[in-house]
């Protein structure tokens, strides 16, 4: 099957394909406490699927498939643009971390201890991501990239031209 985009750094849209979203399931012996943690500490929005069964909205995500010589398994990591600031905010909200932030080849990793004792990874990626996370700079659009190439003189000319255009419209021209 041919990939949709092979450009380095490409950020393909999720729409238009077969898959419209991802539903992640975490199994816990303390589901009410873990749901409260996701709601109150992580601040994730949710819907009540009935009888208090909360389903949380997740930020944009990505799926990576890694090779293994051992047993196949699945892992869940949350991503952030500044793991140090994220850990500080989580601890202020009562989260317990399982050790210090560690420097991994692929990013800076923290581990959150959930109310049931299980660990949830939180990391600041060093690798290109398939999605733009909240708090990360937007890639420059064509107009912004062109203005950046022109430098400050080009930006001043563009602002003056825009001002002249709005002045013409207000004068009825």
Please write the tens of the pLDDT for every residue from 99-129: 999 999 999 999 999 999 999 999 999 998 8
Mean pLDDT estimate for the chain = 79
The rounded distance, in Å, linking the Cα atoms of 21 and 11 is: 16
Once rounded to an integer, what is the mean pLDDT over residues 22-44?
94
Pairing of strands 119-125, 77-79: parallel
Block residue for tokens 């060093």 = 126
Does pTM surpass 0.85? no
What is the rounded (10 degree) CA torsion for 125, 130, 134, 136?
60
The answer to whether 92 and 43 are in contact (CB under 8 A) is no
Please write the tens of the pLDDT for every residue from 65-99: 999 999 998 899 999 999 999 999 999 999 999 99
| Residue among 59, 55, 35, 34 at smallest CA distance from 46 | 55
Query: Mean pLDDT lowest for which of 14-23, 43-52, 116-125?
Result: 14-23
Once rounded to an integer, what is the mean pLDDT over residues 32-44?
95
Once rounded to an integer, what is the mean pLDDT over residues 25-50?
94
CB atoms inside a 10 Å sphere around CB 122 = 23
């Amino acid at each position: 099957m041919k990939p949709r985009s092979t450009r380095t750094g490409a950020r393909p849209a999720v729409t238009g394909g077969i898959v419209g979203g991802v539903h992640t399931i975490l199994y816990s012996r303390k589901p009410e406490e873990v749901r409260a943690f996701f709601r109150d500490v992580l601040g994730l929005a949710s819907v009540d699927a009935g009888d208090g069964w909360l389903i949380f909205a997740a930020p944009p995500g990505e799926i990576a498939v890694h090779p293994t010589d051992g047993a196949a398994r699945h892992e869940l990591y949350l991503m952030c643009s500044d793991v140090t600031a994220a850990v500080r905010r989580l601890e202020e909200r009562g989260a317990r971390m399982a050790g210090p932030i560690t420097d991994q080849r692929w990013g800076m990793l923290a581990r959150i201890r959930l109310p049931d004792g299980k660990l949830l990874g939180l990391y600041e990626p060093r690798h290109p991501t398939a999605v733009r996370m909240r708090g990360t700079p937007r890639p420059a659009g064509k107009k912004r990239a062109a203005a950046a190439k022109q430098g400050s003189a080009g930006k001043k000319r563009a602002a003056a031209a825009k001002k002249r255009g709005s002045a013409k419209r207000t004068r009825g021209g």
